[in-house]
Structure 1
Amino acid sequence: MDLTLLENCLFGALIFCFLIQLYFSLFIHLKLALIKVEPMPDRGRKPISVIISARNELKNLQEYLPAVLEQNYPDFEVVVVNDRSWDGTADLLEEFSKTYARLKIVTVSEGEKFIAGKKFAITMGIKAASNEWLVFTDADCLPASKDWLTGMQQPADDRTEIVLGYSPYQKKWGILNALIRFETFFTAVNYLSFAIKGMPYMGVGRNMAYKKSLFFKNKGFAAHIHIPSGDDDLFVNANANAVNTAIQFHKDAQVWSVPNTSLKSYLKQKKRHFGAGKLYKPKHKFILSAQIIIQFLFYAFFIILICFKATLYPALAVLGISIIVRCFVYPRLLKRLNCGNLRWWFPLLDILLFIFLVFNGVVSIFVKKIQWR
């Protein structure tokens, strides 16, 4: 079948985008699907400090903090930073301290002379921590098992200074919940896969760990203290490398999080993340941007090509192959990362996520200010 010069160029561009898409799916993400999940360590080796920053988290602390305090780990403390709360958090923590000797309370008072925000609260928690190995989570997070800390402890290799964990969102009813869980899954697939490849670029503060000495050696959050978000991903982006970073996604070492229930609050959360991403290392920004741009161009060229009679079926064939390949890789990853029930909806969610990311990227350009609660 003869094609015009324009049709050949468009079809060639579609094939190029497809090949790049294929590279990310088969040579980056598939590694996470095939890598052996190491068994949990049989014992705890070194003492751990868990850091939780809480601002008006009374209900969440009441529901989830006991599960953190009751971990099956021989030597650990839980440092909860009460960051200017007025909802009764202070009273609850005082009550908990009578029952749990492991609980250490740090209070940030209103009116102190500092740059208010989560990074300051976490820094206060790190300073108060008694141990070298720090494990981070949030007030609205529930460990998947009593062996969570055993999985998130420092590996036997002392060169490991950072462990990137995984934190799926709880299943609720509705398409928004499915989209939030799928987006969180895809983000995790990306950062865990690139860490396996030796290029770690981010982690999530709901479940990650690093050395206290690493934090102070690199001056903590000083380089990005002016950004409200980034206490997790920007720190990892600046300090993680192929030698000092490991991943942990064993089902017992995961942490379940409470998802947003409104689109507005979810968009606000993603805007914070988008703002932090602007400060990633250039190579990381290039790769992450390329993923979105290539996906956008793939669909754009496909839509244009199906408008031409001569390229309708070739374009449909490329789309079909793309869907088959992605359905080979990602549903098995959804099952591995505790989102197995979403695998039947993968093609639809894949398209919805792409539309959402493009929309969120455009909207975020106009965001001037975001803050920690």
Structure 2
Amino acid sequence: MLTFIFYFFIAIFVVQISYYLGVFGKFAFAKPQEITQKNLPVSVIVCAKNEEENVQKFIPLLAEQNYPDFEIVLIDDASSDETLEIFEQFEKQYSNIRLVKVQNNEAFWGNKKYALTLGIKASKKDYLLFTDADCYPTSTEWITAMTSQFTLNKTIVLGYGGYEKSDRSLLNKIIRFETVLTAIQYFSWAKIGRPYMGVGRNLAYKKEEFFNVNGFIEHIQVRSGDDDLFVNQAANKHNVTISYDPESFTYSKPKESYKEWFSQKRRHVATANYYKVFDKIQLGVFYTSQLFFFLLVILLLAFQFQWIAVIALLATRYTIAWIVVGFSAGKLRENDIKVWFPVVEIVLIFTQINIFITNIFSKPVHWK
């Protein structure tokens, strides 16, 4: 029996190494990107619901972008705070701001996709650049950096949306590591030619891509997924590229309690159930192989079966994974999380199990 378990452990080891070197290495060892300003007409789209504090701080950062041809489409999704009033002030202050006021609709109440659809239809530019109301760009060259990756054929650009750093918080490191790992995955699969998701905190596409798939209509009943489900549906190996120059990053404030973050991840995992079959399988195989790898290490070492080989494979796996994660984190300017890799990986593995079990018995809450 232990012999069978050992050979199964070797198979799991091969799967893990295949992911880290064969897939994730595509991004980890990619060359730095060049930014060439293309001056494409861009509509920056921000949808907000009860975000008065964030929009007050961050909308001016968008308005001050160093770019010759852009507008900002501000969508107020029936906010009950002062968000709409702040948006109206910005509309008067900046000539390139367009305001879309969304009223509660019985059929689409609380559905962010409905609000975004109205904003997209109201936009006047051919290229759309999305970020969330609680996000801000790293520089005044954000629009330039993201749109520089558009070509005649590449009409969807996947960007990186990171989180602010807090040195004294382990939860902050866990959240940021999970964000980096997610980015490694969707950047790498996009480079391979199997794009499966993007993040609404930093995503761009040509407007025609939205109408080519009839917008969000195929998954309008799913409250989340205006970003990843859209990309999963519209993206292919021909029309997707990625942007990972630091000038193209956006940041936002992470959750400050494990409970809040856990609820957020529950929504993300639930949305992934609507991915294409291949994408669900590849994600499932990776996370399952992660779990089995560590469980089998513990089991085999507990019985001291082939313990030298087990430790050697464990060390090899960690070395390769650490190198790949390290190079990727460096590209994403998240160098400090490399040190915490062994700890936060274990935490994430068991968090994923907890999320999976919790989602079986209750549905997560979505848009505000």
TM-score computed with the length of structure 2 as normaliser: 0.96
1:297 aligns with 2:306: no
The DSSP-based 3-state class of the residue aligned with 1:51 is strand
- Of 256, 260, 267, the residue aligned with 2:251 is 256
Letter in 2 for 1:67: L
Determine the C-alpha separation between the residues in 2 that align with 1:291 and 1:156.
Answer: 30
Letter in 2 for 1:60: N
Deviation at 1:95, TM superposition (A): 1.3
- Of 51, 61, 65, the residue aligned with 2:59 is 65
Report % sequence identity.
38
Determine the C-alpha separation between the residues in 2 that align with 1:85 and 1:67.
Answer: 22
- Of 308, 312, 321, the residue aligned with 1:313 is 308
Q: What is the aligned partner in structure 2 of residue 10 from structure 1? A: 5
68-77 vs 208-217, greater mean Cα deviation:
208-217
Determine the C-alpha separation between the residues in 1 that align with 2:53 and 2:191.
Answer: 37
Q: What is the aligned partner in structure 1 of residue 115 from structure 2? A: 121
Following superposition, which runs of at least 4 residues in structure 1 exceed 4 angstroms of deviation? none
1:77 aligns with 2:71: yes
Deviation at 1:300, TM superposition (A): 1.7
Deviation at 1:115, TM superposition (A): 4.1
Letter in 1 for 2:208: S
CA RMSD of aligned residues (A): 1.4
Counterparts in 2 of 1:368 and 1:250: CA distance versus 1, 3 Å = same
65-74 vs 355-364, greater mean Cα deviation:
355-364
8 Å CA contact 2:28, 2:184 repeated in 1: no
1:205 aligns with 2:182: no
Determine the C-alpha separation between the residues in 2 that align with 1:46 and 1:355.
Answer: 44
Letter in 1 for 2:322: C
266-275 vs 358-367, greater mean Cα deviation:
358-367
For this pair of structures, how many residues does the alignment match? 367
8 Å CA contact 2:270, 2:364 repeated in 1: no
Q: What is the aligned partner in structure 1 of residue 158 from structure 2? A: 164
1:90 aligns with 2:120: no
Counterparts in 2 of 1:310 and 1:371: CA distance versus 1, 3 Å = closer
Deviation at 1:254, TM superposition (A): 0.6
Determine the C-alpha separation between the residues in 1 that align with 2:117 and 2:104.
Answer: 16
- Of 341, 353, 356, the residue aligned with 1:361 is 356
Letter in 1 for 2:252: S
8 Å CA contact 1:154, 1:160 repeated in 2: no
Letter in 2 for 1:116: G
Deviation at 1:44, TM superposition (A): 3.6
1:276 aligns with 2:277: no
- Of 116, 135, 159, the residue aligned with 2:129 is 135
- Of 26, 38, 50, the residue aligned with 1:56 is 50
Determine the C-alpha separation between the residues in 1 that align with 2:90 and 2:305.
Answer: 71
**Cα deviation 1:316-361 (Å, max 9, x = unaligned):** 2221221111122212211211110111111112222212222222
Letter in 1 for 2:335: G
Determine the C-alpha separation between the residues in 2 that align with 1:211 and 1:367.
Answer: 37
Q: What is the aligned partner in structure 2 of residue 46 from structure 1? A: 40
- What does 1:11-26 correspond to in 2, within 5 Å? 11-26=6-21
Q: What is the aligned partner in structure 1 of residue 24 from structure 2? A: 29
8 Å CA contact 1:154, 1:161 repeated in 2: no
- Of 89, 98, 109, the residue aligned with 2:103 is 109
Counterparts in 2 of 1:155 and 1:252: CA distance versus 1, 3 Å = closer
8 Å CA contact 2:164, 2:253 repeated in 1: yes
8 Å CA contact 1:49, 1:134 repeated in 2: yes
Determine the C-alpha separation between the residues in 1 that align with 2:304 and 2:281.
Answer: 35
8 Å CA contact 2:29, 2:327 repeated in 1: no
8 Å CA contact 1:271, 1:367 repeated in 2: no
Q: What is the aligned partner in structure 2 of residue 3 from structure 1? A: none
8 Å CA contact 2:198, 2:231 repeated in 1: yes
8 Å CA contact 2:266, 2:364 repeated in 1: no
The DSSP-based 3-state class of the residue aligned with 2:340 is helix
Deviation at 1:270, TM superposition (A): 1.0
The DSSP-based 3-state class of the residue aligned with 1:56 is coil
The DSSP-based 3-state class of the residue aligned with 2:21 is helix
Letter in 1 for 2:203: M
The DSSP-based 3-state class of the residue aligned with 1:135 is strand
Letter in 2 for 1:127: K
**Cα deviation 1:211-255 (Å, max 9, x = unaligned):** 211111211111111111000000000110110001001000111
Counterparts in 2 of 1:156 and 1:219: CA distance versus 1, 3 Å = closer
Deviation at 1:156, TM superposition (A): 5.3
Q: What is the aligned partner in structure 1 of residue 146 from structure 2? A: 152
The DSSP-based 3-state class of the residue aligned with 1:230 is coil
